[in-house]
Structure 1
Amino acid sequence: MIDTVSVLAAKSDFSAVNTIWVLLGAALVFFMQAGFAMVETGFTRAKNAGNIIMKNLMDFCIGTPLFWLFGFGIMFGDGKFIGAYKGIADSTYASAAPDGVPFFAFLIFQTVFCATAATIVSGAMAERTKFISYCIYSAVISLLVYPIEAHWIWGGGWLADLGFHDFAGSTCVHMAGGVAAFVGAAILGPRIGKYDKNGKAKAIPGHSLTLGALGCFILWFCWFGFNGASTVSMEGDAIPLAGKVFVTTNLAAAVATITTMIFTWIKYKKPDVSMTLNASLAGLVAITAPCDTVSPTSAAIIGIVAGILVVVG
């Protein structure tokens, strides 16, 4: 059994403000599960709502114990390609936590990031994945895929050695989930009725733009915790940095949204609502890696590029 008292007493220099900041960020990132559930449910047909909601729920519930048992140890173990697993996430890995932050606060912070990577895939394969198959996928990405690739960057692996910079997870979280989604969609193929007999794509409208918009607003709100709390500190130089991260994150999302609205307005003779909502998320994903280093002007440019790519792509 874990001696909780000894774990908590292992460091006497815990920072209350840093701990609160990390835990607040963890709570916001967890709430992204609700955002993804609303986005995916709103942008698909009503008959699949229950299936999608269960997938988003089970992403987190399956991933949490697996990341605690194995994933965290692989992610923060020693090694260049795969972390050397040393056991269940407990005081053995206490040194992985940032200065001033208790281990368990850091563990839950990392857990919700793992769950976010897993839930990204659900939307891309919506309406054509068996529930049991998705549960198996969710277990695999939480157990192996995310811990191994995130170790390369955040766990001191080979990409970190090369100087690769991903502040809050454009690559570790969103690209990992996106690549898994792309592979899954390629294997499954399109939804029934997506293409006509001539191979021309047909739109399959979602059943509720209201739910989709609510999900986008929830995700935008939670992204301030996703990116902002990745400072894992609210002391010293991290104080102005957190403010800058909030500004660049917000700017990229807003400019991406405007760009897509104008682009679709020109292309389709009217603004595309669902695509414009997705543009907000595209801008947020694009700014997540460099949000701590780029200027507001650069964040706006990143938003423009993201707003165009989300339509073209």
Structure 2
Amino acid sequence: MALTRRRFSGEMNYWPSFVDALSTLVLTVVFMLSLFMISQFFLSQEISGRDEALIRLNSQIAELTELLALERAGARDLADNLAILQSGLDAATAERDRLQAQLTAELGAGAAAGDQASQLSTALNDERQVSQRALAQVELLNQQISALRRQIAALEDALDASEGRDRESQTKIADLGRRLNVALAQRVQELSRYRSDFFGRLREILGTRSDIRVVGDRFVFQSEVLFGSGSEQLNPAGTGELDKLAAALLELEAEIPAEIAWVLRVDGHTDARPLSGTGRFRDNWELSSARAISVVKYLISQGVRPEHLVAAGFGEYQPLEQGETDEVYARNRRIELKLTER
């Protein structure tokens, strides 16, 4: 939107070329902010989806890890059983060999040992059957161990794949965070440009008085410009300056889209000297707050929308300078204006 050319205090005009350039800048800012809000919405949706996927992935990893631990415990039990059966098989084999040798010796002794040989042969057959059963069990255990090893290998592969997906997700989330930080930095830069443009306009409107100046990102009125000593009532000179400020704010309200939340914060500050105690204010807190409220109410009376104004009092606790001279006291007594987000 192009700014309407105005006169302030009968001295100042906006050049048409400056108006066009400023309109182009405002439209560019609005367009960039709209793009940022849309991209931020999609980024937040993507990050939310990635977080849910990561939670599910971590849950699956925990389940796989628990199952792997159970399978490994089962493998250890089977290995222990196999060792016990192998030991029994070795003992049975030794006993079979001993009986075979004894049988051979007894057979050589003659018919008198026939009954004993028959008993030994029966015992030998029994031992052979035990040995065969033990071998069958050993073979079954070997097959079970092989199956467990395959399951463990599959679980380890699944765990490695899950860890790989987790690392990939973390990388994507970190990339999204970096992109979001870049977008936020761009937004802060655009807001800083807009604030600088607004304060530049105020500087042109209010002139180059030594008691009205820009300090950092704030526009500063010395208290004596607006108020009498110890009073929160605006003096005629102060209302004249605030009329100029109100006109600039009305133009600003017309330019900024309704979806952009912004406020002009009005901060009241006093010097460090305590009040006499005979006036209507008990301390500097009350005086600084009352002065800020007086400025806000006057701007509202000139048509500025209340939702774009904030009043705050800081007493003597945020001085611009340290010291106890009259000059330092005078600089610390002030009203500060700061354009910021709501």
State the structure with more CA Rg: 2
* TM-score tier after normalising by the smaller chain length: under 0.3
Higher normalized contact order (CA 8 Å, seq sep 6+, divided by chain length): 1
TM-score w.r.t. length of structure 1:
0.26
